[in-house]
Amino acid sequence: MTVNSNQLNFILDNTPAEQNIMLVGKHGIGKSRILEDYFSKKGSRVVTLFLGQMSDPGDLIGLPEKNEKTGKTDFMLPYWFPIDDEPVVLFLDELNRARPEVLQTIMDLTLNRKLAGKSLPKGSRIISAVNNGNEYQLTDLDPALVSRFNIYEFSPTVQDWLDWAEKSGLDKRIIDFISENPEYLDGDGSTSESSLERSPDRRSWERTSDIIKKFPELDDLHKPIVSGIIGAQVTSLFFKFVRANDIPSARAILCDDFSEAEKKLEKLSPVDFTQVNNSIFNFIESKNYGDEQKKLIPQNLEKYIDFMSEKKSRETFSHFISLISAKNFPETLFFISSECKSVYRKIFEAL
């Protein structure tokens, strides 16, 4: 049986610390993320060990040293081992990528909560994550080791991810795209096992957001960098979606038919208007418009001001005014005061 994010939270809430948990699932679906978020909110210390990167047991248990008092060999505590007697959440990532000799060390840890004779603090948890599928290079796990875990196949829903993405502030264009095209959240199914062609997953959408969120408008210049993260095919679909559903640009608002831009503005949130307001000020400041466009700006800017004050919250208009008060756009302020006198008057009547 598969579990989603809400069900996993319930499992974590109600499983005693002494019982180990193993999450099974595809890479990039958020196994590590949900665990780190869950326990961080609880105030627990999470120690993540990437077992697939460990070359021998010494990476896990520490280096041997001679005890001068006893003449016997001790092991130096590894960097992550808790010495303050406070419980930790030990997250064993990539468990089925670990070398067999590393897995032997894990046996005692999962059964007795001991590592090289040293016990984890009482109340510590051990949770592991494994990838499943023929496309991975995996190590067969010993049935005795597997038996020490409660095993759950983790398959978070698209809505789980959308809720997380909204709370985490991912780029709205990505959230909207996945809302309408959920089949592209976890790959498009076009990538062969031997190919290096990228295919999207939840992790790659987050990386894409980190890059594009600073660009109010996306064009062909941005395509290559996005393509290297989510793949060429999905990038093409994403950009087509963005162009059809994007927040209207400052040029579209000020230099084109305002009624067309208004249709998109009506769908925007107050947060979206901070982006629109900034783009308008930057556009006027740049003077990147011709004489014919310059004639349209005063009347369209007034329509935009009236739209905000009449159809949107006071908050959106206040943000627009704050950009003038900040005095970071001297050319824009001069243009409004000299070319858009009615707009200038309305702004200062609102102060």
Instruction: Give average pLDDT by consecutive 10-residue segment, the chain, 351 residues.
Output: 88 94 81 83 88 77 76 77 87 84 83 83 91 60 87 86 87 87 75 60 93 90 95 93 80 89 88 88 84 89 91 83 85 91 84 68
Neighbours of 322 (CB within 10 A): 11
Tell if the pTM clears 0.75, that is, is over it. Answer: no
Res 197: pLDDT: 67
Q: Which pLDDT score, from 0 to 100, does residue 134 have?
A: 52
39-48 long-range contacts, CB within 8 A, separation 24+:
39/89, 44/87, 44/88, 44/89, 44/125, 45/82, 45/86, 45/87, 45/88, 45/89, 46/88, 46/89, 46/91, 47/80, 47/82, 47/88, 47/89, 47/90, 47/91, 48/91, 48/93
Q: How much is the pLDDT for 191?
A: 45
User: Strand 73-75 relative to strand 64-66: parallel, antiparallel, unpaired?
Assistant: antiparallel
Residue 296, pLDDT score: 93
Distance from the Cα of residue 169 to its chain's centroid: 8
At 276, list the tokens: 């629109």
Q: Is the dihedral of CA 296, 297, 302, 304 positive or negative?
A: positive
pLDDT of residue 133: 58
| Per-residue confidence (pLDDT) for residue 138, from 0 to 100 | 57
Predicted pLDDT of residue 194: 44
Give the amino acid at 261. Answer: A
